[in-house]
């Protein structure tokens, strides 16, 4: 399986599709990552806050795929923002992953109530980049106002902004901002996972069950998940679907042999509800979400 790649704004190549491991339990992470590597994935998206960097690293070390062929992306959690704290956050993540260099290190969230601390964290990422400890740096869940304020002081334009993007929540303004500034948009919940996470609010409708999605899937002989991944890729976005099941991990990478038509893309574009599944950016504060990340 050959996965298309994107060239980031600093020339680094990144596979367009990777495996996400949010909510993948410790004891299932190694098997999921191992299956993904066997099935052709060369990009894993984890985070300090997911508590499974160690198992991601172990799976990569135990696989037959050389380290330099796997693109490792991880995230600094808000409790490690601040210049020295973020440098130490890198040390913790690198030690848990068991690697010297991280391919893409991003800030997990803006911290609007303490944006100075967010900016200091980003300066630490710039230092790690200059020292070659990371190959690319970026952000996640940054809205237009956060990116604008960041670009005012940053020396390095973020390579990636990882955002909640599925047909029910498309965030077009921030996607356009990224396109305009050379920041690659990367979709989290690319198959709409957050529209059906258990316990995330009653009355939600899974985008995988939307008649528009299932109709397009039927027309191509593909699954709804594959249609949503194609939709993201054809819009020029990186996608990082999560699964712990081997058959779905295989299904989710099997998306490079068909194309959605312009009409189909337009149909999916029209499903936007404007309703965010994740936390409102302003609600992300240290008081509410600032749990500590353990030492390595």
Is 122 catalytic? The answer is no
Q: Does 194 bind ligand NDP (CB under 6 A)?
A: yes
Residue 99 near residue 57, CB atoms below 8 Å: yes
Nearer to ligand NDP, 132 or 221 (CB): 221
Q: Does 136 bind ligand NDP (CB under 6 A)?
A: no
How far apart CA 195 and CA 175 sit, in angstroms, is 20
Catalytic, out of 50, 81, 122, 168: 50
**Which residue in the set 6, 22, 71, 231 belongs to the binding site for ligand NDP (CB under 6 A)?**
22
Angle at 86 between CA 80 and CA 90, to 5 degrees: 110
The pairing of beta strand 238-239 with beta strand 13-15: unpaired
Count of chain residues binding ligand NDP (CB under 6 A):
28
Contact string 196-215 vs ligand NDP (x = CB under 6 A): ------------x-------
Nearer to ligand NDP, 200 or 261 (CB): 200
Q: Does 140 bind ligand NDP (CB under 6 A)?
A: yes
Q: Residues near 3 by Cβ (< 8 Å), separated by ≥ 6?
A: 15, 16, 17, 40, 41, 42, 43, 253, 256
How far apart CA 33 and CA 129 sit, in angstroms, is 26
**Which residue in the set 248, 254, 267, 286 belongs to the binding site for ligand NDP (CB under 6 A)?**
248
**Which residue in the set 6, 42, 45, 216 belongs to the binding site for ligand NDP (CB under 6 A)?**
45
Nearer to ligand NDP, 58 or 251 (CB): 251
Residue 54 near residue 48, CB atoms below 8 Å: no
Active-site residue set: 50
């Amino acid at each position: 399986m050959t996965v298309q790649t994107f060239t980031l704004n600093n020339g680094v190549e990144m596979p367009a599709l990777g495996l996400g491991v949010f909510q993948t339990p410790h004891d299932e992470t190694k098997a999921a990552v191992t299956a993904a590597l066997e099935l052709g994935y060369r990009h894993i998206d984890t985070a300090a806050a997911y508590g499974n960097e160690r198992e991601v690293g172990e799976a990569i070390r135990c696989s037959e795929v050389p380290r330099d062929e796997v693109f490792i992306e991880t995230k600094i959690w808000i409790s490690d923002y601040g210049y020295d704290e973020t440098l130490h956050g890198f040390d913790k993540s690198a030690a848990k992953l068991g690697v010297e260099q991280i391919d893409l290190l991003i800030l997990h969230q803006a911290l609007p109530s303490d944006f100075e601390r967010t900016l200091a964290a980003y300066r630490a990422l710039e230092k790690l980049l200059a020292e070659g400890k990371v190959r690319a740096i970026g952000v996640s869940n940054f809205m237009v106002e956060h990116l604008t304020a960041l670009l005012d002081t940053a020396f390095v334009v973020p390579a990636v902004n990882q955002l909640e993007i599925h047909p029910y929540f498309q965030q077009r303004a921030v996607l356009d901002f990224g396109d305009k500034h050379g920041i690659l948009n990367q979709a989290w919940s690319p198959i709409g996972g957050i529209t059906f996470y258990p316990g995330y609010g009653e009355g939600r409708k899974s985008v995988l069950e939307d008649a528009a999605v299932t109709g397009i899937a039927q027309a191509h002989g593909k699954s709804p998940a594959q249609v949503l991944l194609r939709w993201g890729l054809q819009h020029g976005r990186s996608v990082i679907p999560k699964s712990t099941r081997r058959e779905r991990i295989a299904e989710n990478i099997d998306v490079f042999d068909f194309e959605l038509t312009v009409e189909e893309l337009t149909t999916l574009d029209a499903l936007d509800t404007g309703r965010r599944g994740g936390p409102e950016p302003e609600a992300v504060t240290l008081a509410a979400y600032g749990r500590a990340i353990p030492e390595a």
